[in-house]
A and B are shown apart, each in its own frame.
Chain A
């Protein structure tokens, strides 16, 4: 191993294997029983609790914490899963600091919320390790539903449909199910192959088959699915990436952050994954943070996130921003890319300072350049592959033909979060069930 953080260019193995392994270990250790007990004892069991209202899936948080406190984490997990079948993943990746934990009355009172996310993980991990699966499928209805996309929305929808006794076929374009849980989240948030383990656990409900490598529009059509199934759910996510609209962005070394994250997640030996010495990430969301932090953890010497508006407008939470800066990532705000310089491959990125005024964002005359051998674009994903017949507005599916539902990032409503996708998938399944058993049944 001859590379180091100082090696120029995009190269693998900047850090020794043991250092990389340590960097990509579980970034927040699981609570042990004692820690869980102490954390659970802090919950006040609030009436009509603000944390429940703040959870997109509406998990009965005080109840599950009380069930932990009384020594029944399995019952706690059932409480969680009955609202959010991907509660294990959400416990790991939810921005709890802007959801349940921000709403916690103890956050308001003491600036120290009950550790809801970590308690949720304790409950779901404990229950999954016990080997029990608390849900039993209803008798078969003979109805069949196609779910397009095996991401959080599709999986949540499929599980709820299967629970009601419907047969579900999930069509997934990628080789593995899980969607962004498998391909789009920082590795240290979901270690140990948890995304696949959770999918396997979820499938134990029965009645769900997953066909991978099948893409809507390429291998199957909406009409074809409607002919073969009684209803269709679209959870196709956002397949495209916004362009920088800066000159030179087609130069070598400029890549999509989501592709980098996906590649990283699918790389078994991270010492083989190349990364730049000077990495610039453009964007202000979770994807930007995940790409930047992981670049740093792979051994990049300098990693900078550049965001065009003020820091308070970054969609990455304060917690995530702090995580980035404590990992050694620099965050520059109020600057937008105007040009990518370099001879074939990127050498520098030029930015203009911005002013976020009443008339919108304007670029000032003043510019600066950042040295870069790798640039990641993380300025938002776009809807691609929406089938004919779907109405699209504001980059989201807003209307659908009969017998078709949609949820998750591709659909309008809510933030683009795993937990929101789960809620939408679950609720669509309930609507489909009503449709199948009421109108068509």
Chain B
């Protein structure tokens, strides 16, 4: 079994699987059960300032979308930050941390945008002996209307300012949680770094409406005939999160800034993908809200087996794919592949044919007895057939070796060449 011990900005945990700040981490009961189940760390659900507790709606606060067999793919929520009194949360955090010194316990914070509010809450958190703080600049619903959450996260200058307050007023490691509801994720990450953040975590949830009730004409989840946008998360958001993590990891201005990866992590494989793109650890929420705390066992066994199979350590995985994330213009235009259908595993559903014939390049032939085969002379290697095939690994992309003539273009496969030097590129020609 590979060693999964994680050191994220000096915060140690027995594995890199943390629970994200969210409903599962709202109280001592849950967090103790999560630690007992094997979670390496927890980011406690966001605390607000002292005063009357936050109020939540009393109707549905979650909405969802499902795949086949009602598998939950995306979850949306309109729950606000913790609605329990600050002193109760602080007492419970201290109690849990006392008993779980080997686990990471980070406290998520969201208070009004003034230095005094931040100073006050930081003093309280330091008393709990928690391992660090995460600044919630992400929640897109409710709190943003009050000038917090994503209202801060969408303005890089605010991020920098608040992060600086936190670093000046606390010795605790500080993670800045970023909202994806922004056009360029690199800007808030750069701002967090300028402000002195030890790490960023992303993504928080995405503005969303999960559905519309076609009888009541109300967005879902519906509260008394009305609905509002909530924060979207779960497996469906993973690709968006992976890209944002990668953008920060490969941006020269933030390269090397530790990242806690969040967004649809459900299995060991999701976690490994985030880490390969630069995340030092991952945070999980929707998967435990769907399946319970126990799923961490699969994440532990799976990541451990993967590292053993690859004969690498956890730290070797982190960022290993970052150098391979590039811009389109640098992709090798002489990398030529052709789809190939394995007739033994083909179940003859014809989805590849429908996709290719109707919507792509008419590069799949169908015989009267339903044998599907690729026409190399028409195949542009778009990968759509691979993506729509219900059988994993039935259709694969096979690379043409150098020198071999591509039957579609009639030209032999050449050496690496990209758009920057392509004759059709006006800029390339201008450079000559």
Contacts from A to B (Cβ < 8 Å): 33-34, 37, 41-42, 45, 47, 62-63, 66-67, 69-72, 74-75, 78-79
Contact = CB atoms under 8 A, between A and B. Distances in A.
Interface stretch (B113-121, B206-214, B290-298): B290-298
A78 B1 CA distance: 12
B128 interface: no
Interface residues of B, number: 21
B301 A79 contact: yes
Interface in B31-79: 69, 71
A70 B392 contact: no
Determine the main DSSP class of B at the interface with A: helix
B69 A75 contact: no
A75 B307 CA distance: 13
B308 to A, nearest CB: 9
A67 B69 contact: no
Nearest to B290: A45
Interface string B114-157: 00000000000000000000000000000000000000000000
B391 A34 contact: yes
A70 B269 contact: yes
27 contacts: A33-B392, A34-B394, A41-B69, A41-B71, A42-B69, A47-B292, A47-B294, A62-B294, A63-B298, A66-B295, A66-B298, A67-B298, A67-B302, A70-B267, A70-B268, A70-B269, A70-B298, A71-B269, A71-B302, A72-B302, A72-B305, A72-B306, A74-B305, A75-B298, A75-B301, A78-B301, A79-B301
A79 B71 CA distance: 24
A320 B302 CA distance: 36
B39 to A, nearest CB: 15
Nearest to A60: B297
Contacts of B251: none
Contacts of B304: 75
Contact of A63 (B71, B269, B294, B305): B294
Contacts of A72: 268, 298, 301-302, 305-306
Interface in B297-324: 297-298, 301-302, 304-306
Contacts of A75: 298, 301-302, 304-305
Closest 9 CB pairs of A and B: A75-B301, A70-B267, A45-B291, A72-B302, A66-B298, A72-B305, A75-B305, A34-B391, A70-B302
Nearest to A62: B294
Nearest to A68: B298
Choose among A33, A41, A70 the residue with the greatest number of B CB atoms under 10 Å from its CB.
A70
Determine the main DSSP class of A at the interface with B: helix
A240 B391 CA distance: 51
A45 B295 contact: yes
A74 B295 CA distance: 17
Interface in B371-394: 391-394
Contacts of A67: 298, 301-302
A63 B268 CA distance: 13
A74 B305 CA distance: 8
Contacts of A78: 301
A315 to B, nearest CB: 35
Nearest to B344: A32
Interface in B216-254: none
Contacts of A63: 294, 297-298
B394 to A, nearest CB: 8
Contacts of B306: 72
Interface in B357-410: 391-394
Nearest to A106: B69
B95 interface: no
Contacts of B69: 41-42
B30 interface: no
B66 to A, nearest CB: 13
B269 A34 contact: no
Choose among A63, A72, A78 the residue with the greatest number of B CB atoms under 10 Å from its CB.
A72
A72 B292 CA distance: 20
B272 to A, nearest CB: 10
B68 to A, nearest CB: 9
Contacts of A34: 345, 391-392, 394
A62 B294 CA distance: 10
A69 B287 CA distance: 15
Contacts of A74: 305
Given A41-B69, A45-B294, 20 more contacts: A34-B345, A34-B391, A34-B392, A34-B394, A41-B71, A42-B69, A45-B291, A45-B295, A47-B292, A47-B294, A63-B294, A63-B297, A67-B298, A70-B268, A70-B302, A72-B268, A72-B306, A75-B301, A75-B302, A75-B304
Choose among A33, A47, A62, A75 the residue with the greatest number of B CB atoms under 10 Å from its CB.
A75
Contact of A37 (B301, B302, B305, B392): B392
Contacts of A66: 267, 295, 298
B151 to A, nearest CB: 37
A74 B69 CA distance: 26
Contacts of B301: 67, 72, 75, 78-79
A72 B291 CA distance: 19
A72 B2 CA distance: 14
Nearest to A66: B298
B386 to A, nearest CB: 15
A109 to B, nearest CB: 11
Contacts of A33: 392-393
B351 to A, nearest CB: 15
Contacts of A62: 294
B123 to A, nearest CB: 40
Contacts of B295: 45, 66
Contacts of B298: 63, 66-67, 70, 72, 75
Contacts of B392: 33-34, 37
